[in-house]
Structure 1
Amino acid sequence: MSIITSSRSSAPQRPEASHPDTQSRPDPTTGWRQRLVDRSLVLLAAHSIDALRISLGLVILGFGSLKFFPGASPAEGLVMQTTEALTFGMVTGTTAVVGTAVLETVIGLVLLTGRGLRPGMLVIAGWLAGIMAPVALFPGEMFPGGLPTLAAQYVLKDLILAAAAAVVAAKALGARLVPPTNA
């Protein structure tokens, strides 16, 4: 509680609202609400990043497994085109799609299990650069007339995956989410 001093006196005085006659009654529900918030914060701090890691793993594993089935992934053509450009034509066609499927499956399993997470984050960083590459490699095709195509939108949604991967990487490298303590 702050103390307000008056220019008339050097003695500290309490604010007007602290006088017993002017105080409002405390809300009797504040106690249980605050306890609920505190418990929620503890649970979120303990489990939210792991939940993010697992959901990220499920999404990447899901997208990767689609690439094992010809024609099942809407990104199949984009994967072929991008991989061919990034490898200077050394990896093309079905090989590019299956290679990407294997990579995404491994990344998904690493995220799901949490095993090999630190080295896995390096692989994920490379993968993220690869999945964002079409924006830089094919800007005319991705944004004809300045507006994003469906393929560009598919790639741009990966910004969310990149942000989630950054949070998971921070925890894997030692960062911790800690709820505030009540003083």
Structure 2
Amino acid sequence: MHESVKRATTCICEVPSHVFSGVGGQGGIPMGELRSATKPGPSPQRVRVDGWLDRYSFPLLRITLGLVIFGFGFLKYFSGISPAQDLVLHANRILTFGLVPDQVALPALATVECLLGLSLITGRGLRLLVYPLTAWAIAILSPLLLFPAELFSGPDHAPTLAGQYVLKDIILLAACFVVMARVRTNTRGL
């Protein structure tokens, strides 16, 4: 390197010239390392927020998903209270070919949902939960295939209230996928 360039570099950057002698493979610090060494790190607030999210986001998702599933299941124990009761019973008649009476299907589904919800809330039995949760998630979306005309009979095929109720289940399905993936790969933080 020419001597005047070395002096200019030292004056402008206040970095000794031997630091740059690594350019061209002659020792010193390579330019990429110099750049990364001078880049500022995340702020302490960012580190705290990232740490909090890393520690609590999954348990929060798991517990809130459990509360929602438990709540919807609990409502099904009381005839006429669940807004999805008619939809559930109609789907039951089609999916079971009418072999499971409504008086059995609704409490059975309520029990399954409450057990799934409690498992998610408490974090117990999660490895056993993976397959029943998958079946439940698919079942709650079955009305989209079974009754599209009823669910999207609003103006310009907009979803009805029942359609919106089923569409929100897509979010529950996505949350179930996150929980199932985490449970299958890692038990830390469950």
TM-score range, shorter chain: 0.7 to 0.9
**Aligned equivalents of 2:136 and 2:71: distance in 1?**
15
Displacement over 3 Å in runs of 4+: 18-21
**Which letter maps to 1:168?**
V
**Aligned equivalents of 1:59 and 1:143: distance in 2?**
24
The size of the alignment, in residue pairs, is 156
Please say if residues 66 and 117 of structure 2, whose CA atoms lie closer than 8 Å, have aligned partners that are also in contact. yes
User: Is 1:66 aligned to residue 95 of structure 2?
Assistant: no
Residue number in structure 2 paired with 1:162: 173
Residue number in structure 2 paired with 1:43: 52
User: Is 1:112 aligned to residue 128 of structure 2?
Assistant: no
Bigger radius of gyration:
2
Give deviations 1:55-87, integer Å, cap 9, x for gaps: 000010011101111111100111100111111
- Give the helix-richer structure, 1 or 2: 2
**Aligned equivalents of 1:176 and 1:49: distance in 2?**
11
Please say if residues 61 and 109 of structure 1, whose CA atoms lie closer than 8 Å, have aligned partners that are also in contact. yes
The answer for unaligned runs of 5 or more in structure 2 is 15-39
User: Is 1:150 aligned to residue 161 of structure 2?
Assistant: yes
User: Is 1:80 aligned to residue 95 of structure 2?
Assistant: no
Residue number in structure 1 paired with 2:149: 140
**Aligned equivalents of 2:64 and 2:175: distance in 1?**
10
The answer for unaligned runs of 5 or more in structure 1 is 1-8, 22-29, 178-183
| TM-score, scaled relative to structure 1 | 0.76
